Amino acid sequence: MSAALFDLSGKTALVTGGYKGLGLAMASGLGEAGAKVILNGRKASSVAPVCEQLRAQGIDAYMKIFDVTDYATLASNIDECAKEHNGIHILVNNAGIIQREPLASMAISDFQNIVETDLTAPFAVAQAVVKHMRAQGSGKIINICSMMSELGRDGVGAYAAAKGGLKMLTRNMATEWARDGIQVNGIGPGYFATDITAPIRVDGHPFNEFIINRTPAGRWGNPDELRGTAVFLASAGSDFVNGQVVYVDGGILATIGKPSNES
């Protein structure tokens, strides 16, 4: 098999929320595979240093500052990206938020905010990008779903509702846009070692013990372990893969119980 199948040279990738955490890991992977990477965020002060860091690593990185929920300016920002960078060939819909609150006490405005950011905004961004992909005759859209696209958990009902909706939106985007040469798939990350999870990954913390015991791999994921999946779904290697969600979770969704130590 030729490595050219996964070569992203000449492609432009827009990664929303791509300046930190899992978004940055995926953006780095796409850049290392040859893509020009555009990192999106709301504040230049947060995104610019990350672009410089990627450039120092030999990645062709740029930034585009806009809010994915500002629908009045979204399309013009996407159009500018396409014009400035010779099209948008890859979109990673990564920007999202979570708020831990029991459904019974959650304010409707908070529920709506999560659904807007995690479900409506990915739709709006993809809708703005897809016209450029149609004009090109090809494109790759990767929606960042979650294990909560499949499972419920106390305190994250709004997030789960949005991510479950994003899974079905992914399938419907694939259904409508496949004949345009566009593949739309999702990635469902498991539990990864990031700055956000650092406080609960200490020895003795109940959630840390829960994740280690619940995950067949017996550990948290390394963000770099998302890069290969992102590159695959962004490359010619996935040209007949459409409407799927690839769960990168160390095997959590494969089992209902604590992994056995027996050989």
Query: For residues 66-82, b (16+ Cβ closer than 10 Å) or e, as one string?
Result: bbbbeeeebeebbeebb
Does the residue 259 lie in any domain? no
**Alpha helices (H) in 154-205, listed in sequence order:** 157-177
Does the residue 262 lie in any domain? no
User: pTM for this one?
Assistant: 0.95
**What pLDDT is attached to residue 134?**
97
Residue-wise pLDDT for 205-218, tens only, equals 998 999 999 999 99
Q: Is 98 helix (H, G, I), strand (E, B) or coil?
A: coil
Q: What total of structural domains would you count in the chain?
A: 1
Does the residue 199 lie in any domain? yes
Does the residue 123 lie in any domain? yes
**Domain range spanning residue 212?**
3-254
Does the residue 163 lie in any domain? yes
Q: Is 236 exposed, middle or buried (0-12, 13-18, 19+ CB in 10 A)?
A: middle
Q: Is 32 helix (H, G, I), strand (E, B) or coil?
A: helix
Q: Residue 256: how many CA atoms within 13 Å on its side-chain side? A: 0
Q: Which amino acid is at 235?
A: S
For range 228-257, the mean pLDDT: 95
The CATH number for 221's domain is 3.40.50.720
Residues marked active site are found at 159
Does the residue 263 lie in any domain? no
Distances (CA, A) of 153 to 95, 101, 116, 148, 160: 21, 11, 20, 8, 8
CA angle (163, 75, 139) in 5-degree steps: 65
User: pLDDT band for position 154 (50/70/90)?
Assistant: confident
Average pLDDT, the chain: 95
Tokens found for residue 212: 């280690």
Does the residue 190 lie in any domain? yes
